[in-house]
Chain A
Amino acid sequence: KQEVTQIPAALSVPEGENLVLNCSFTDSAIYNLQWFRQDPGKGLTSLLLIQSSQREQTSGRLNASLDKSSGRSTLYIAASQPGDSATYLCAVTQTGANNLFFGTGTRLTVIP
């Protein structure tokens, strides 16, 4: 059974810092990996999707990398802002499946 782990569980940084969030998964037979953002009490917003054949994806200040063979992904956030404060979730889609397997998330606080 696929297990997705995110470290750290919580992170506080001062505004302007660059930061890295980590995600690991146990079964490398994945179709894709996605990073989501969740604000308190709200639904999820898709940030980036990386196909299993890709190494990275970029959107604005966000860069996600994927090392499928080692079962790892990172989300890099450049020049963090208070508005980036949220929980960040990574999720994988297994090859041949349709649903997402989620990690437990990293709660990020950016201090002004």
Chain B
Amino acid sequence: DTGVSQDPRHKITKRGQNVTFRCDPISEHNRLYWYRQTLGQGPEFLTYFQNEAQLEKSRLLSDRFSAERPKGSFSTLEIQRTEQGDSAMYLCASSSPGTDRQTQYFGPGTRLLVL
């Protein structure tokens, strides 16, 4: 068990470019979550997967955002036509189907800066 990993850890992009982030959950965790955290704020929920099915999406997830979890393992979060307001830390978390299912384990995050 190596924990939740995210790649890249940092991304700088110009406004209007597309970016894609990857999250690898703890193996055998069937639930995966994406959150966004801006400076000085707590994380805000974006979307939730159970296995490969995307079951919940926040209203924060505009049509420029898309998330996938093919085969129910790793997940990607893509932002199209980035805007300066997208600058934030993007956090991924996973939880298990067992008795510990309520505890979400977070990755180190991907910090995005849109210039």
Contacts and interface: CB of A to CB of B under 8 A. Distances in A.
Interface stretch (A40-48, A63-71, A78-86): A40-48
B112 to A, nearest CB: 13
A104 B104 CA distance: 18
Contact of A98 (B40, B41, B55, B108): B55
A101 B45 contact: yes
B103 A43 contact: no
Contact of B102 (A4, A32, A36, A41): A32
Contacts of A42: 108-109
Contacts, number: 57
A59 interface: no
A75 interface: no
B91 A89 contact: no
B40 A104 contact: yes
Interface residues of B, number: 25
Interface residues of A, number: 25
Contacts of A93: 102
A98 B42 contact: no
Given A91-B42, A99-B56, A103-B42, A44 B102 contact: no
A76 interface: no
B103 A99 contact: no
Contact of A46 (B31, B35, B45, B104): B104
B103 A102 contact: no
B74 interface: no
Interface in A1-22: 4
A101 B55 CA distance: 17
Contacts of A46: 103-106
Nearest to A93: B102
Given A89-B42, A104-B42, 5 more contacts: A42-B109, A43-B91, A44-B93, A93-B102, A100-B33
